[in-house]
Structure formats: C-alpha cells, structure tokens
Structure 1
C-alpha cells in the first residue's frame, strides 16, 4: 500500500490517494514513520504535482483524529541530503508549490525556511545558487521568510547577526558567496538590492575572502565588473586570511582582461604590501611626521620673530613719513599692514598646527587610532598649506616693484604651487600604474592573451 502511495505521489494521482486513505486513514502516519529518504511530499514537489500536495494538506487539515503534527513532520522532514520539501521547491524552481508551502502557516513556514540541509544551506541559498530568480523574489518578499536572508551556509556565517539566524554552521561565507561561486549574477544583483547593507556585501568567508575575492578566484568577469561599479561599491582593499587583497589575487591569476585591471585600479584597489593598518602607518611614519612638524614650527617661529623687512632699530613717535613706531616693531606692520595681517594669520596657523602634531604624537596613544590618523593628516596638511602662504606673502612683500610684475600677486603664486603639487601627484600615479603593469607582465607573460 505504501508503494501505491509513492507511485500516486509521482504521478500526481489524487483519486488513488483518496482511495488509499479510505482504506487506511493512518497511511500517511505509517509512511512517515518508515520513511528513510523522501516522503510523498518530497516526491510530489520534485514532480510538480501541486494538486496532489493540496490533497495531502486538505486531508491532514480535515482529519480530526490527529493534530497538525503529521503535517508539520512531513513538511520539516529531510531526505538523505537533509532537504525538506521547501528546499526542493526552491532548488527545482517549483514556484507554485513553494507558494502553497509558505501559506500553510507562518510558524511552520518560518521553520521550513530556517531549516538547513547537510551543507548548511537553507531554501534561499539553494534558490540563489541554482539561479531560480522567481523563487528567490518570492522568498525575499515573503514576511515569513524575511529572517532567513542572512542565514549561513556551510561556507558562510551571518555577518549581520540577525537574532533569528545567529546559529552558526561549519563555514564562513554568506548566500552572496554562493551566487558568485555558481556564477549567478542576476541572483546576486537581486539579493544586494534587496538587502542594501554594506557589511553584508563585504562579509568574509572562513578564508577571509569577500565576494570580490571569490569572483576573481573563479574568474567571474561580469560579476567583478558589477561589484566594482555597484553603488555603494565593495571595499576593494579588504585582505583575506592570507593577507591578499583583490588586486593581489588578480595579479596571481593574471588572465583577467585589462579593463578589469583598470576598473579595480580606478576604484582604489591596492596590493596587500601597500596597505598598512593605521596603527602600523602611524608607527612607521611617526619620526618623519615629527621631523616635518618640528621644521614647520621652527620656520613659523622664525617668521614670527623676524618678519620680512626686519624690525625698527629706533623709536620714532613723531608724525613723520614712516608713522610713529617703536624699536623692535615690525617694519612691515607699518609699510604693508594688510599683508602683515595675512602673514600673521597664516604663520600663527602653521605654528599652532605643527605644535598640535607634536603633542598628538607624544600623547596620542589614548586617542582611537582612526581618529588620531585623521587629526594628524588634517593638521599636517593645514600646516604645510599655511606655511606655504606665509612664504608667498613674505616673498611678495620683500620684492621690489620691478620684480612684482613677475610675481603679480599672491593668488598667482598660490595657483602655481597648487599646480606643482598636482603635477607631482599625477607623476606618482603614472609611475604606480607602470610598476603595476610591469609586475603583472613579469608574473604572467601571457596575461594579455
């Protein structure tokens, strides 16, 4: 009789099913007790026999001799791979059956959604890795399965720690890692757009690899292009467990096209050896920053006590040609008071900024590393900029009228300095690109093929 029931499930024969239940009303209970693999609900799901499934639920809901335990057991029971009927519906894209299952009750649907197979994958994982986009959309939109979006498969952990899915499995990657591994770009786009969380997009697996690492590892060019240009983009300089960035992996693989290399470079991708943790960066450049700050402070102090044009060497309190002045006062304060005001403002800012850098380096251990790096960088740029302005004003005020035509004004000089800085920066960028390409060619002479 059990064999006849399984055959009816495979063929979707509702008439035979009803006849069997008339002969033995406990047939379903007996079947699930003796089942070692797939029960009739599994088989009907695989074959897409929706009417047969509805007949099973109709019988179980109308049977007053038992509660919902038989129904729940049939829905939650796993086959030899640990997959319940919802897993199979998601994996084979049986959309109509999936909709029937998730409507039988919120609590039961929730339990089926969170259940994982032997590989630690829930229904959402299976739908994503097999590219069943319609099923994926239903699972994402359904309230009962809302919580399982961030559940973990064998290669995954839960990066957002949602309370309903904090249980851990054997691995470290999320559902997005599965999409990349099985080259399911559309499913990846759908999930990223639905979840919209940078931490989820940049989550690591147990090897410390993000989905960008994995896309490069599996040579998924379209996925790489999508991830690099996605808004907000992935963090391209995250290191994996081997301290390798995405660019490091690309250079090792050596067979991704030039467009991919350029896209990564433009998005700020660096090799692992070029990326230092903030604490290491501060420690490495502490002495250099201290020397620069001390030199700027010295220059600012000297410009303050010995302003351009010197100081008056005598007292003259009469209302003469040079206006009243006392010994030691700055000549420039009388002859060019406007420029002297600008000079003092810029010079004082440079002096205070450089002193602030020195104090931060001496007592900065109590400040959070990221904030300390921000303060040091900001103060250093401010000190360099204002000491440059001080120099420009000094040079302008001590120049004769004949040479002022060449200098024109302080603004022109500032523009020249700015252009010079940008020229140096561009030269450095071009050199880095040259080194990058040379390194790539040396590692794989056939990378352009």
Structure 2
C-alpha cells in the first residue's frame, strides 16, 4: 500500500506529465488526496505544476474537480495563473480566464494581478483580452499603490500603456468619464501619477500620449512637485509647457478636508446638503412614485395636446351651412385644425406641451438617476400648471378674467424659470462637490488619492 508521501510524489509526477489517468488512479487509492492539499493555506497544488508546464487538459480537469485550487497561492505568493504567465503559457492563461474571468483580478505577491503582469511583460494581446472579459480589473492596485498604467510606464512598455489608455477612452460602462479621469490621475504611494513617472523617466512617447488624455497636468506628488518640476529633460519640459502644465509654485493647493469642514456653509452648500440627505433617505418605493407621477404628467399632457382650448374646426354639414349664412368661408384644409391663433398655438404646443411631454418621455424611457427624475418631475409640474393657466387665459369669456390669467401666466413663468435655474446651479454643484461616483471608485481603487 502506498504511503501518503508516495501518493504526493506520484501526484506531482502526474501534474508534471499531464497524466489524467494517473490522477484518477491516485484518487482511487485515496479519495481525499485533493482535500488534504486544499486544507493547506499556502501550497503548491497540482494545478500550479500543470499551469507552469502548460498541460491545459490536466489543468482543466483539476479545476473542474477542485475550483478552489485556482485561487491558491504557493509559498512564493503566486497562483496558478501567475505561474502560467511567468512561463509564457498563453493557452493555459486563456483557459483559466475562459473558466473564470475573475481570475484576472487575483492578487499574488506584492498585490500583482495577471493584468499587472501582462503590462509588466508587454503582452498586449493578453492585456486586451483581460480588459475585455474583466473590465473592473483595471481598478486593482499593488501594495505600492500602482495601477496597471504605472506598471506599464515604469517598465517602459509603451504599447501596454497605449492599450490601457485606448480602453479608458472607449469604455462605455456606467460612470465611464469619471472613471477614466480617476484612473489616469491615481497616485502611487509616493503621490506620483503616471504623468510624474513618464516625466521622471524621460519617456517622450508615453508623455505625448498622456497629455492628450484627461490627466491632471498640474497634480502634485508627496513632495509637492508637479510633473514639470521633476521633468528629466528640456524636451519633456517643452511638451508639458505646450500642453499647459505649470510648476508647483503657480498651482493652487487643493483644499484639505479639515479646511472644508471649518469653512462657512453657503446657501448653495445648504441646498446641496439638503438634496444629498434626501438622496440617502429616499426609498425604492419613492423612486417608483416619481416615475408614476412622470407617467401621469405625460399622459395628461398628451391628452390636452390633442384637445386644445376651443377645440378644432369641424367639417360637418351644419358647420358648412352656418358659414355660408354668415358669408364666411371654411377652407377644407382648415378642417381638424385648432381654432386658436397661430401664435398662441405655437407657444402652447412647442414651449409647453412638447417640452413637458418629451422630457417626461425621456425620463420614463431611459430611467435616469433619481435626482434627475426628482428635478424633472418638479419642473414639469410647474410646466403642467403653466399649461393649465395658459389654457384658462385662452378660453376666458371676458377681458378681466383673461387679464387675470395673463398675470398668472407670467407668475408661473417666473416661478418656472427660478426653479429651473436653482436646480441647474445646485445640480452643477452636486456634480462638482458631491462626486458620489468618484468616491466609490476611489474606495475600490484603495484610497482617496488624487
């Protein structure tokens, strides 16, 4: 009977040779042979050996039997996919990713992921594949706070950097614009952005590529230096200056958190805080209620647009006889047209009905952010009320009531404009100062670094 050491030795031989039959022979002898290995936190599994050797079928069989082996780190801090990359076993790497795309994000020694290793070695085909199957992998940073872009520039792999920047520019995931800016401007443990690294390394190609992106040309590192301050050559400085970069002495320091907390709260800040508090407290039922209100407004507006004040010209025989008796003519082209004047009709339909209906339609169809819905619903409630008052003016039987409703029209117009611009200003402040999406991304990236 084979001892445990004998079985372990034969299991290693099976992995080195990619012998699936020998694997099952050993499982017959001891059904728990793979379980014993799985109990060890850091261990070289048969999957590590097969991945290093490029035995794709054997590795696939092991992963099918013990998926947890793919996440195991050996005593040197590497997973099977890390070893496959280090040994240039591309077919093995692609098989790992096909079976579990999240393996692109597994962190080995010093926090290096397979995406980082691909940037480090300049394997742009694997890099593009990783980004395609697992877009969030670009968020991962090493223990030194380095993104994949930092690694590409530090290892002077311009093509890897080019692929990463190209992916950031073309990605269509939610919050892509903010995400692109944050990844480009992320700082490592020394506070250096990828622009600092390229300026310090005198990497002209990387620098020319980066200055055309959304990277912050005047970001400061931990030593309070911009990329222009640490530029390694006059040519680098020339590129940065032509792009609009400044020395640190001419760059205003970003307000610190403690300074912001001690500053006076303005009226706009109070409005912003109020809206953000509402946002935190709002429930899913309330969000759904906003959509219901928007739908009702759109329905009512649609109906009132088809039934304008005063109705439309009719084409029946009675109307024709009455027009003949009164010596008036009714052109056949006017049948079914609104009886109100052209100016009133144009103003009512194009500036009220169409605006209210189309905005609500977009709001319902595209299901925008809740705060956009909140703004749109409340704005359109004013617009809908405006429609009502304007209609009342058109059908008023006397000049007194018409004048009164005309005044009400102007009052509603003032209120509508005031609310609209208030919303616009507060929303802009919300985008600039709130940055909820950016905060989430920064947290995922590992910290609040700019």
Q: What is the TM-score when the length of structure 2 is the normalising length?
A: 0.49
Larger CA Rg, structure 1 vs 2: 1
Structure with the larger RCO, 1 or 2 (CA within 8 Å, 6+ apart): 2
